[in-house]
Amino acid sequence: MRWIEIALSVDGEAAEAVADLLSRYGHQGISIEQEGILPEAYSEADVPPPERLTVRAYMADDENVALAKKQLEDGLRYMNMMYPMPQPTYRTVDDEDWANVWRDHYHPIRLGQRILIRPLWHDIPVGADDIELALDPGMAFGTGTHPTTQLCLIALEQTVQPGQRVLDLGCGSGILAIAAAKLGAASVLALDIDELAVTSTRENIAVNGVGSKIDVGQGGLETVITSARRFDLIVVNIIAPVIIGMCANGLGQTVRPGGYAIFSGVIESQAEEVEAALQQTGLIPHDRHQQGDWLAIVCRRPASDPS
């Protein structure tokens, strides 16, 4: 079988909507990559502003492809009435190459003070003080090239304390769970509703040698609520509407009094609505990290909160 790669270059405001549209036609997930990443590791000071993002998906080149393309382009034309949308570009990929073709766009990245994201197929020097995240995300989310993931990693480096119990809700490739474990967390629960993400997370945990610290499962917020577990720190890298929905379903109760929470996938124009919802669930926003239009919001649950 052959595959059709669909790619659109968008700004941060459009990325979420385009990714949602492509998810209806893409096979095994969507990738969102920051444009302008150099083909070598760089320091955080050299990271270009995330002004443009490439959203990619793959569809089977079969008897349904013409209809799928038409439906996709119809959807983009409708969206273009509300916000400027680019035309998609298409590329045919052979079956044996399709699962790996995106690797050409995935390079080592340095973030924060010590974090180094290293794709497994890149061999680069690793310093003694580096927190190395060695990854092969497969087709799962979480390559570290999207600003939302980068913002979470920077916030984790500043927030994780030795001995903490951490929840990574919507773990994708496992990159944030692995980072928390390597930054000193005593235990991490990594959850995702996508079976592919769970498999990818387990494989990456094994590569990074942190299997003794991380439990992986298929599930979401309801899984945590049912278990009545509370955490010193939770990290949620999803999208703003999902975060707001979680706030109405007990999200704040997953954080122990005095604990912290990191939320990413938020566009600047959505920040006030998200923060208002977080406050309603008992989490008090106290810090923001920002790249271009994207934000990560750091919250704390008051130590005096008995609920």
Which range, 140-149, 176-185, 291-300, has the best average confidence (pLDDT)? 176-185
Higher pLDDT, 122 or 185: 185
Looking at the domain that runs over 109-300, which CATH code has it been given?
A: 3.40.50.150
Residues of the chain with CATH 3.30.70.120: 2-101
Higher pLDDT, 104 or 239: 239
Residues of the chain with CATH 3.40.50.150: 109-300
Whole-model pTM over 0.85: no
At 209 the pLDDT is: 94
**27-41, 180-194, 261-275: which has the minimum mean pLDDT?**
27-41
HEC readout, the chain: CEEEEEEEEECHHHHHHHHHHHCCCCCCCCEEEECCCCCCCCCHHHCCCCCCEEEEEEEECCCCHHHHHHHHHHHHHHHHCCCCCCCCEEEEEECCCCCCHHHHHCCCEEECCCEEEEECCCCCCCCCCCEEEEECCCCCCCCCCCHHHHHHHHHHHHHCCCCCEEEEECCCCCHHHHHHHHCCCCEEEEEECCHHHHHHHHHHHHHHCCCCCEEEEECCHHHHHHHCCCEEEEEEECCHHHHHHHHCCCHHHHEEEEEEEEEEEEEHHHHHHHHHHHHHCCCEEEEEEEECCEEEEEEECCCCCCC
Q: Which tens digits make up the pLDDT trace of 24-48?
A: 776 656 677 777 655 444 444 455 5
Is the pLDDT score of 184 beyond 50? yes
- Tell me the fold of 2-101: Alpha-Beta Plaits (3.30.70)
Is the pLDDT score of 233 beyond 50? yes
At 86 the pLDDT is: 87
Q: Which tens digits make up the pLDDT trace of 65-78?
A: 888 889 889 988 98
